[in-house]
């Protein structure tokens, strides 16, 4: 977040976002690709929960798939944007961290529809993200 805020101050929000995204989609492919390539989204993404817990992020994934769609909800009790804002001594958190993460995921996996359903930065109790793609047999 610190890097993005510095870039935003220097270049403006749009250019700062693009600069901050450099390399992130490739890292998403390396991190998430092996988890979701051959598994359903909920099962694959859930494999990351222990690693996230080890760094202080409390999250869980719920399978909300249908006959035609492989889908999962990520429910985060830990708001990474709030954590970053607290570490920087900011009084108000912006959704910078999750926006960059979601943009990188969108670029890394074009077949994956990722949406924000709720964010703590919008004064919600939890952060909720929806991940969906056509079922393998429909791709």
Q: What is the pLDDT of residues 30-43, one digit of tens each?
A: 999 999 998 999 99
State mean pLDDT over 125-138.
Answer: 89
Give the burial string for 75-112 (b: 16+ CB within 10 Å, else e).
Answer: bbebbbbbbbbeeeeeeebbbbbbbbbbbbbeebbeeb
pLDDT over threshold 80, residue 138: no
Task: Give me the pLDDT at residue 137, please.
Answer: 65
Mean of per-residue pLDDT scores for the chain: 94
d(CA 16, CA 95): 14
pLDDT of 25 higher than 60: yes
pLDDT for the residue numbered 38: 86
User: What is the C-alpha to C-alpha distance for residues 83 and 118, in angstroms, rounded to an integer?
Assistant: 17
- Residue 139: pLDDT band by 50, 70, 90 thresholds? very low
- What are the tens digits of pLDDT across the range 66-125? 999 999 999 999 999 999 999 999 999 999 999 999 999 999 999 999 999 999 999 999
* pLDDT on residue 108: 97
| pTM score over 0.85 | yes
Q: What are the tens digits of pLDDT across the range 44-55?
A: 999 999 999 999
- Give bridge partners of residue 129 from the DSSP assignment: 74, 116
136 pLDDT band, cuts 50/70/90, is confident
Domain ranges of the chain: 2-138
Which CATH entry fits the domain spanning 2-138: 3.30.70, 3.30.1380, 2.20.25, 3.30.1330?
3.30.1380
Asked if residues 27 and 57 have their Cβ atoms less than 8 Å apart, the reply is no
Q: What is the pLDDT of residue 60?
A: 97
């Amino acid at each position: 977040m610190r890097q993005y805020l510095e870039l935003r101050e220097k270049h403006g929000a749009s250019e700062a976002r693009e600069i901050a995204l450099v390399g992130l989609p490739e890292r998403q492919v390396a991190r998430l690709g092996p988890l979701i390539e051959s598994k359903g989204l909920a099962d694959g993404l859930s494999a990351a929960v222990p690693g996230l817990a080890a760094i202080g992020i409390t999250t869980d994934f719920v399978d909300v798939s249908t006959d035609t769609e492989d889908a999962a909800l990520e429910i985060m009790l830990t708001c990474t944007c709030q954590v970053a804002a607290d570490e920087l001594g900011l009084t108000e958190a912006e959704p910078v961290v999750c926006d960059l993460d979601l943009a990188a995921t969108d670029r890394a996996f074009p077949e994956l529809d990722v949406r924000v359903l709720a964010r703590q930065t919008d004064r919600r109790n939890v952060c909720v993200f929806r991940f969906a793609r056509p079922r393998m047999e429909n791709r």
